[in-house]
Structure 1
Amino acid sequence: MTNHLHTGADQPGIRGMIARNPLRAFFVLALGLSWAAWVPYILSPHGLGLWDLHFPELLGTAQFTGVLPGALLGPLGSAFLVTAVTDGRPGLRRWVGRLWRWRVSWRWYALALVGVPAVIVVSGLPLSGGQVQAPSAAALLMLVPGLVVQVFTTGLSEEPGWRDFALPRLQDRFGPLGAAGILGPLWALWHVPLYLSDWGGWPDAHWTEPLVFAAFTITFNVVMVWAFNRTGESLPLVLLLHVGVNNTISTLWADMYPGMTAGTMMLGLTATSTVAAAVLLVATRGRLGYASTGAPTLPVPTAPALVGSNDGTR
């Protein structure tokens, strides 16, 4: 088990309350701070259109200025704050330390950056209705720049919170299966308000799309938990797994499947990630690579998992 110090648990007031309930404090802050920061964007013409506030566009989208600040403030900011209050400098060193665990087998990077994206692309074939085309040169050229952008936006805003801060604590307390059962739904819930903006396709998205996305997020989280545990809690690996999926969708999907809607895409991705999650749960007997002794191992993956994402900004 990981030993988490509680440096402020005996203090009165908010600091002591956070230190005594770090997981609860993190989830309340992560959701609450992000949701509060997203309110102007959701009310703006980029969402409900109730507030005449226009966010500047970067790289053709206003989501960098309207959505990203809330993402940074929520999971990343909350993880930093709660870790500092609860575990002090030793805890912050452990938290940051996972970000530098790059030394895992090259096969894991091949899985995250080649194997899983390839499976995502192939998963669209049964739903394409025959409307498939080879990716353009422009789309292929955008793969690496798009990945870099995703790493420094989606990846670094979310993963230091969900997988770096919350997952080890949840597994210490509830085991890997319980941790996956808690983290997945909360990760899905965090995204829900964005379906009232252009991030989620408002106002054209069908009401079932948030439900399908939630199902995908919950099953994708099982794959993420497995990868995190099997790589010795390597944050870079799970970060690349996450943003590699997003980048594949944003750069290749629309180019290769011009007639497919976002809702149809999510159905295929959710089915694929559900199969992958089920296989991993059965194959690992619910352990998902978790080493209860606190001695993580770095074995080589035996087969690629199937995961997906909604679009490149999610």
Structure 2
Amino acid sequence: MSQQRIRGIVDARPVATFFFFAYAFSWIGWFPVVIGMGEPIRTLSFIAGGFGPALAGAVVTWLDGESVRAWTRQIVRWRVAARWYLAAFLLPLLVVSLASVVIVLLGTTVDPTVLSGRLSLVLGSYVFVALIGGGNEEPGWRGFALSRLEERYAPVPATLILGVVWAFWHLPQLVADPNAVYSFAWLAEEIPGIVLRVINIVGFAFLLTWIYNGTASVLLALLLHAGINTANSTLVPLPIEAITGESFMTVLIAVDLAVWVVAIVLIVATRGHLGYGTTRNTAGRQEFR
């Protein structure tokens, strides 16, 4: 098949092509994890698969005949108003604070004193997630797919589509370890947890849409992504073993409720635009196109 023919197909369906490549690159990358290979291949495979969406964004941008350099500039676009940095750091704290209130309302006793010794854990988790544990996905999901979806759909349905695709992209991680919370071996009894996890990811997609639309910066989406994952895993005022064990479902329900409260507030406050169409955002899109 000629390069011109390939580019014609990609140009007709760039988002669908991106989703295909994102799943293919990541799921192939995670295959050693799924079949249970040992270290260090397991860890290297897990990390490599996480770059699938970013790689797909670069490949489809190139196949579509657009500027990979312009697409890449979004990743390091740091010159945005200070309020957006504040939002990227404070939104995860707001979500975890609301979730902590819900946890109490659900009958679980929290203990804020357990947070005092977690500074190094928080910093380590934040850096890990930002670089290789989730933030590295953002050049693809927000930097490529979201902007394209919003050219065809309104921000809310565009975010719902992306959120669902993003959520099910994690599927191989559910079957990767027979001892993990989301393992395939536990699937029958863990279906409620799987459903809640999908709801969780889709809800967070709205927060990421809002911050990307307002800045046209993948960097800000990356920082928010890192903050969200870090806050959920280290800043809930419960012992770590409780968060991942006996209180896991309670924490997940609480975080789901909290993130959807914030998402709905953003949708209502922006009248469904979620920051789409701002001057800076429009300029960024024109540069990318």
TM-score by length of 2: 0.83
- 1:307 aligns with none
CA contact (8 A) 1:102 1:236 kept: yes
Q: Does 1:18 align with 2:10?
A: yes
Paired amino acid for 2:99: S
1:67-101 per-residue CA deviation (whole Å, 9 max, x = no partner) reads: 221121x201111110111134xx21221111122
- 1:49 aligns with none
- 2:287 aligns with none
SS at match of 2:78: coil
Distance 1:123 1:102 in 2: 30
CA contact (8 A) 1:229 1:290 kept: yes
Q: Does 1:252 align with 2:217?
A: no
Number of matched pairs: 272
SS at match of 2:235: helix
CA contact (8 A) 1:134 1:256 kept: no
Aligned identity (percent) is 31
- 1:209 aligns with 193
Which stretch shows the higher mean deviation, 152-161 or 235-244?
152-161
More helix by percentage: 2
Of 52, 63, 66, which residue of structure 2 is paired with 1:85? Answer: 63
What is the correspondence of 1:42-191 to structure 2 with a 5 Å cutoff? 42-44=34-36, 53-56=37-40, 64-72=43-51, 74-88=52-66, 91-127=67-103, 129-135=108-114, 137-191=116-170
- 1:3 aligns with none
SS at match of 2:4: coil
CA contact (8 A) 2:163 2:205 kept: yes
SS at match of 1:67: helix
CA contact (8 A) 1:22 1:82 kept: yes
Distance verdict in 2 for CA 1:156–1:248, change over 3 Å: closer
Which stretch shows the higher mean deviation, 125-134 or 239-248?
125-134
- 1:227 aligns with 211
Flag structure 1 segments of 5+ consecutive residues without an equivalent.
1-8, 45-52, 299-314
Distance verdict in 2 for CA 1:42–1:287, change over 3 Å: same
Of 264, 267, 272, which residue of structure 2 is paired with 1:281? Answer: 267
Q: How far apart are 1:267 and its partner, in Å? A: 0.9
- 1:290 aligns with 276
What is the correspondence of 1:187-198 to structure 2 with a 5 Å cutoff? 187-198=166-177
Distance 2:30 2:281 in 1: 39
Flag structure 2 segments of 5+ consecutive residues without an equivalent.
285-289
1:194-239 per-residue CA deviation (whole Å, 9 max, x = no partner) reads: 11134644255722111111111111111111111122x1211111
Distance 1:136 1:254 in 2: 6
Q: How far apart are 1:119 and its partner, in Å? A: 3.5
Distance verdict in 2 for CA 1:113–1:135, change over 3 Å: farther
1:261-280 per-residue CA deviation (whole Å, 9 max, x = no partner) reads: 33222111111111112222
Q: How far apart are 1:160 and its partner, in Å? A: 0.3
Q: CA RMSD in A?
A: 2.7
Which stretch shows the higher mean deviation, 165-174 or 145-154?
145-154
Distance 1:37 1:168 in 2: 26
TM-score by length of 1: 0.77
